[in-house]
């Protein structure tokens, strides 16, 4: 059985033909601006042929042949995140706020987490989890690049950990592992790997993850379930099965729009098919847990040991904590002792006799206090080279065109390079 035959159990022949035609077309490319680093007006002035996303603030569609945004220095600076415009709709519909505690259950590579973090104005707390440690590690580097300060990155199997987080989260994103039919345009391997058995296997796992997520959702909280699958079994079928077991849940009606496809059985959810919506495809359904939502208080842990460092970088009022020999800054304290932590907010430095400020800090703070360098120095810095400096000895953040690049350490007139070795490259 191929995908078209599988879709015949809920889509008309005309709809399937239209969808298959779209899958043979070109992928849609988009990005989400980091408004703390780059304003919409400045971005559009520099790249006038981008098109605004029809729903998501600070998001733009673009022609990859014209704009190579993945190779742009602004990407290195964390000025934007390249994402699928359909996937951006999950945090858009969920609409997390600055006082929310959010769990992104299967978060890697981190696009939805970053979208939620931007919506939350770098406040509140997001647990961005992925059971795969390598994927969580890559996501952690992506979050570092974007300079986010309200995200805890973890690699935890919640089958064992969920009991420590019962009724803990205001909002949950469950972008469930799926058969991946919406990835066919971008990934030929996904198309070769697809089969009905994989769909059935995914359904079982999706329902298990929904049960875990629901247990961790607060009373009155909202959960966003999504997949990048077109299969009815993984989308409407999973939600209908889950609602049959939990009739108390309240499905949230998503807005009406001609680009949203809905089924008769589940009209409150939406399918973002690429023949209707500019994107690779997404199924999205939101539901609420009964009860009245109670928000957590804003708790921070101060640190007097490094108070001068904290004041220097404007971190006063945040929760500045030492975990496992590393000094972190998070918007507010969250007890993550039962989680396998890769990053607890902004990494500041490793606690040693002589500490070196971390690259994440340079991308988190404003460029206003940085040292502006010229184009020649910028190219040398990104390449990993040293360059002369008349500054007094010490650590400094250098910036180019109002975007922080990273740290240097000036020693006897030479700016020693602290740009991470794995990020260094030649800019022509």
Summarize the confidence of residues 144-150 as an average pLDDT.
98
**C-alpha–C-alpha distance, residues 151 and 108, integer Å:** 13
Has residue 164 got a pLDDT over 60?
yes
Averaged pLDDT score across all residues of the chain: 95
Distances (CA, A) of 112 to 18, 96, 240, 252: 28, 11, 24, 19
pLDDT-based confidence at 249, cuts 50/70/90?
very high
Q: What percent of the chain has pLDDT over 70?
A: 98
Four-residue CA torsion sign, 319, 342, 348, 379 = negative
Count of residues making up the chain: 428
Between the two ends of the chain, the Cα-to-Cα distance in Å is 50
Q: What percent of the chain has pLDDT over 90?
A: 89
Are the CB atoms for 102 and 129 separated by under 8 Å? Answer: no
Has residue 32 got a pLDDT over 60?
yes
Higher pLDDT, residue 185 or 259: 259
Has residue 348 got a pLDDT over 60?
yes
How many other C-beta atoms can be found within 10 angstroms of the C-beta atom of residue 59?
25
Helix (H, G, I), strand (E, B) or coil at 124: coil
Parse the chain into domains and list their residue ranges: 29-83, 366-428
pLDDT-based confidence at 190, cuts 50/70/90?
low
pLDDT-based confidence at 189, cuts 50/70/90?
confident
pLDDT-based confidence at 118, cuts 50/70/90?
very high
Summarize the confidence of residues 50-78 as an average pLDDT.
97
Higher pLDDT, residue 9 or 380: 380
Summarize the confidence of residues 12-41 as an average pLDDT.
94
Has residue 218 got a pLDDT over 60?
yes
pTM, whole model, 2 decimals?
A: 0.96
Q: Which two tokens stand for residue 293?
A: 């939502």
Higher pLDDT, residue 188 or 400: 400
**Active site includes 228?**
yes
**C-alpha–C-alpha distance, residues 357 and 348, integer Å:** 6
Are the CB atoms for 331 and 124 separated by under 8 Å? Answer: yes
Summarize the confidence of residues 393-417 as an average pLDDT.
96
Instruction: Please give the pLDDT value at position 428.
Output: 81
Instruction: Please give the pLDDT value at position 4.
Output: 66
At 250, give phi and psi (nearest 5°): -110, 110
Of 398, 382, 391, residue with least CA distance to 414: 391
Summarize the confidence of residues 249-255 as an average pLDDT.
98
Q: What is the DSSP string of 348-385?
A: EEE-SSS----HHHHHHS-GGGSEE--HHHHHHHHHT-
Has residue 92 got a pLDDT over 80?
yes
Burial of 421 (0-12, 13-18, 19+ CB in 10 A): exposed
Are the CB atoms for 285 and 306 separated by under 8 Å? Answer: no
Instruction: Kindly name the residue from 106, 178, 202, 228 that is annotated as catalytic.
Output: 228
Has residue 392 got a pLDDT over 80?
yes
The structure tokens 């990155």 sit at 153
The structure tokens 């858009």 sit at 92
Instruction: Please give the pLDDT value at position 179.
Output: 82
Summarize the confidence of residues 384-398 as an average pLDDT.
95
**C-alpha–C-alpha distance, residues 283 and 199, integer Å:** 15
Has residue 1 got a pLDDT over 60?
no
At 33, give phi and psi (nearest 5°): -70, 150
Summarize the confidence of residues 281-299 as an average pLDDT.
97
Summarize the confidence of residues 203-215 as an average pLDDT.
97
**C-alpha–C-alpha distance, residues 421 and 121, integer Å:** 30
Alpha carbon of residue 37 to chain centroid: 16
Four-residue CA torsion sign, 246, 248, 249, 253 = positive
**C-alpha–C-alpha distance, residues 30 and 197, integer Å:** 32
Q: Which two tokens stand for residue 325?
A: 């020999």
Fold of 366-428: Nuclear Transport Factor 2; Chain: A, (3.10.450)
**C-alpha–C-alpha distance, residues 361 and 38, integer Å:** 18
Instruction: Please give the pLDDT value at position 194.
Output: 77
Summarize the confidence of residues 277-290 as an average pLDDT.
97
pLDDT-based confidence at 195, cuts 50/70/90?
confident
Instruction: Please give the pLDDT value at position 200.
Output: 86
Instruction: Please give the pLDDT value at position 268.
Output: 98
pLDDT-based confidence at 389, cuts 50/70/90?
very high
**C-alpha–C-alpha distance, residues 334 and 14, integer Å:** 50
């Amino acid at each position: 059985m191929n995908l078209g035959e599988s879709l015949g159990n809920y889509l008309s022949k005309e709809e399937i033909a239209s969808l298959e035609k779209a899958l043979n077309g070109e992928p849609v490319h988009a990005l989400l601006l980091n408004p703390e680093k780059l304003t919409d007006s400045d971005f559009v002035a520099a790249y006038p042929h981008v098109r605004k996303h029809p729903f998501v603030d600070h998001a733009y569609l673009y022609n990859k042949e014209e704009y190579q945004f993945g190779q742009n220095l602004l990407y290195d600076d964390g000025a934007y995140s390249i994402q699928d415009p359909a996937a951006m709709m999950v945090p858009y519909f969920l609409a997390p706020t600055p006082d929310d505690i959010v769990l992104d259950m299967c978060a890697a590579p981190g696009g939805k987490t970053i979208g939620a973090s931007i919506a939350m104005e770098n406040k509140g707390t997001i647990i961005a989890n992925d059971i795969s440690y390598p994927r969580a590690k890559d996501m952690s580097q992506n979050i570092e690049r974007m300079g986010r300060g309200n995200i805890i990155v973890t690699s935890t199997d919640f089958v064992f950990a969920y009991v420590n987080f019962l009724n803990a989260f205001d909002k949950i994103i469950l972008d469930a592992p799926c058969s991946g039919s919406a990835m066919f345009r971008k990934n030929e391997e996904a198309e070769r790997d697809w089969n009905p058995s994989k769909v059935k296997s995914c359904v079982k796992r999706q329902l298990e993850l929904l049960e875990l997520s629901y247990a961790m959702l607060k009373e009155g909280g909202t959960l966003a379930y999504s997949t990048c699958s077109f299969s009815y079994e993984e989308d409407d079928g999973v939600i209908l099965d889950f609602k049959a077991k939990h009739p108390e849940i309240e499905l949230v009606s998503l807005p009406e729009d001609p680009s949203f496809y809905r089924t008769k059985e589940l009209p409150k959810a939406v399918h973002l098919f690429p023949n209707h919506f500019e994107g690779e495809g997404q199924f999205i359904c939101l539901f609420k847990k009964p009860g009245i939502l109670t928000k957590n208080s804003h708790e921070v842990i101060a640190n007097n040991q490094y108070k001068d460092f904290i004041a220097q970088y404007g971190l006063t009022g945040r929760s500045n904590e030492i975990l496992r020999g590393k000094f972190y800054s998070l918007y507010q304290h969250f007890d993550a002792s039962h989680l396998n932590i890769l990053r607890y907010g902004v990494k500041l430095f490793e606690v040693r006799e002589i500490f070196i400020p971390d690259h994440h800090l340079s991308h988190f703070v404003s460029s206003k206090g940085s040292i502006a360098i010229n184009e020649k120095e910028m190219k040398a810095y990104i390449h990993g080279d040293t360059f002369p400096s008349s500054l007094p000895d010490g650590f400094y953040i250098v910036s180019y065109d109002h975007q922080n690049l990273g740290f240097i350490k000036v020693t006897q007139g030479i700016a020693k390079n602290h740009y991470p070795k794995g990020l260094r490259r030649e800019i022509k």
